[in-house]
Structure 1
């Protein structure tokens, strides 16, 4: 095994362990499901202060569903029975969205073993178990050729080596097929280290994605910076974190400042405001 392959294997193992450890917290904060999302949402209006936790969770879920609707619109609203690959499906929120709203046949791809049963369970509750096939596999190793109409990556492309992954996506897409990405992109070099360390990712610039896509034969159709619509998502999550913290016993908070999660949310919100990070949707096509 080459040094680069070994490095990628270790990185994948670290990411898997990271999300295994976060599963229960994701379910508590973004559940109960069945469409559980763990990604940035779009919030067009400033949320009112003082909302109770239940209302905040509802707004967060609605904002995440809006991200999916916007991505579907940009991707051209896949026709019924299109075959969609959801890369890094998490607990299945996006996979269930494509299967239930657009009646697509979905391959839900994850590298987190415990998530397989959760996706299958939620698909059954949603009534789309016959349309969702959950696969435990590395994104670079999924078998097949020219079998997908749409490949979707919601905040998973930042974990993947772009050139190698775009090469694999090209072979998986049917001619004319679409790759739809929603993710964070680097605007200022000094933020790469802290972002990658906390999220176990490998963030890239928009220009790096463009170069990698062009080198592997994918054509850019759309790049839309929606950072301004993502800023208030962090307002919602910070409010929810504060509400959850306020419900803890006072004795458990003595001597504690902000949690690491709160600090990261604040940093992300500020980075979107000052251009240090960007949140964008990118549509790439395999030529006919």
Structure 2
């Protein structure tokens, strides 16, 4: 046990040193773009090399089970470096809540994002004064919203030092430090004691786990008896056929662009909840709701989905010419030395993921919002 604790301390010290080398003081910078151009070049290159070694020169035609197994074995490092590279791009292009949502006519993008978070809190039954765990909290956008919406206290768990710094900074800025705590940890082996939390949620984060049954079991352990866990899960639908090359290209493109080692089907997600011990209270694919506006509209660059003038940037950046401008702009920043090497490659990978997410949705092969709500038995 002593050697395990010592190794964990060494790992955390190593991660903290890398975080400082790559991000410096950019966690305190306002705006994703300003933070993006302030990285340490050598550390950024190391992160790019470490992340893309799992994907470079490995197309869907050549993918083997051994490739997927290797990515899965290195899930923690893969995820950590993915968010070292992508966090500022997400904040610049999307916001501080790194997830998709459903949309209603006349609703702004950020209203819809908040409503999606409120809906999950409602499904779980989060109340004022509860102690709640956010598994894979990102930079804390959902945690801040749910804390304000319900009056609960949220502990955000994350394995990326930079995101923890960003989340802590934003909480203080909004005067929410008394309601929010952000901690470093691996969701496959949490440091929390058994029966620590009144409720637990995860928003599009546990897809990074090597095994859903493993992370759900850890959530079950730290949840109090009678407590409820709710998750928006990324899953391939049961229409997905891994022997179909087109399907495999879509799945691999999503995984590469979003830092995922191994996505599974809906049936496997449901089974994982059962294996973990949860009593299922509700489950459904919210992407299958008959909404007038699809969840993926911000990714497809189609003007017909425009709700207000404020949607102009969202649509423009995903048109073919908007992407071309962004691609060339990122390249120009690298050449000028204003952005570290690898910025363009990361942005291009995110663009590939966007195409594959849209294709997966249109072909009913993928959902980013399979809702599962499970309760830990009271006894």
Query: Would the alpha carbon gap of residues 145 and 265 (structure 1) be closer, same or farther in structure 2, given more than 3 Å must change?
Result: same
- Which residue in 2 is equivalent to 1:276? 365
**Contact 1:185–1:277, Cα closer than 8 Å, also in 2:** yes
User: Which one is further off, 226-235 or 101-110?
Assistant: 226-235
- Which residue in 2 is equivalent to 1:51? none
Structure 1's unaligned 5+ residue stretches are 48-57
Equivalences, count: 268
Q: Runs of 4+ in structure 1 displaced over 6 angstroms?
A: 4-7, 247-251
**Contact 2:257–2:349, Cα closer than 8 Å, also in 1:** no
Alignment pair present for 1:42 and 2:102: yes
The root-mean-square deviation of aligned C-alpha atoms, in Å, is 3.1
2:217 aligns to what SS in structure 1? helix
Matches of 1:111 and 1:250 in 2, distance apart?
29
Matches of 1:72 and 1:18 in 2, distance apart?
27
The TM-score with structure 1 as length reference comes to 0.82
- Which residue in 2 is equivalent to 1:62? 111
Matches of 1:157 and 1:204 in 2, distance apart?
12
Alignment pair present for 1:86 and 2:134: yes
Q: Which structure: larger Rg?
A: 2
Deviation at 1:184, TM superposition (A): 2.0
**Contact 2:220–2:376, Cα closer than 8 Å, also in 1:** yes
- Which residue in 2 is equivalent to 1:72? 121
Give per-residue Cα distances to partners, 1:186-244, cap 9 Å, x unaligned.
11133443332332212222211222222221111101211144963322244445524
- Which residue in 1 is equivalent to 2:284? 224
Query: Would the alpha carbon gap of residues 248 and 166 (structure 1) be closer, same or farther in structure 2, given more than 3 Å must change?
Result: closer
Query: Would the alpha carbon gap of residues 197 and 265 (structure 1) be closer, same or farther in structure 2, given more than 3 Å must change?
Result: closer
- Which residue in 1 is equivalent to 2:208? 159
Query: Would the alpha carbon gap of residues 20 and 251 (structure 1) be closer, same or farther in structure 2, given more than 3 Å must change?
Result: closer
Matches of 2:158 and 2:292 in 1, distance apart?
25
Aligned match for 1:265, one of 351, 354, 360: 354
Matches of 1:117 and 1:250 in 2, distance apart?
27
Give per-residue Cα distances to partners, 1:77-127, cap 9 Å, x unaligned.
x11111111011001011111211111111111111111111111111222
Q: Which has the higher strand share?
A: 1
Matches of 1:280 and 1:231 in 2, distance apart?
17
- Which residue in 1 is equivalent to 2:159? 111
Aligned match for 1:233, one of 270, 288, 295: 295
Deviation at 1:281, TM superposition (A): 1.0
Matches of 2:278 and 2:327 in 1, distance apart?
56
**Contact 1:241–1:262, Cα closer than 8 Å, also in 2:** no
Alignment pair present for 1:215 and 2:275: yes
Alignment pair present for 1:29 and 2:93: yes
Query: Would the alpha carbon gap of residues 14 and 221 (structure 1) be closer, same or farther in structure 2, given more than 3 Å must change?
Result: same
**Contact 2:254–2:354, Cα closer than 8 Å, also in 1:** no
Matches of 1:272 and 1:6 in 2, distance apart?
27
Deviation at 1:8, TM superposition (A): 5.0
Give per-residue Cα distances to partners, 1:39-97, cap 9 Å, x unaligned.
1021133x7xxxxxxxxxx9332221121122122212x11111111011001011111
**Contact 2:198–2:224, Cα closer than 8 Å, also in 1:** yes
Structure 2's unaligned 5+ residue stretches are 5-67, 242-246, 302-312, 332-346
Alignment pair present for 1:181 and 2:271: no
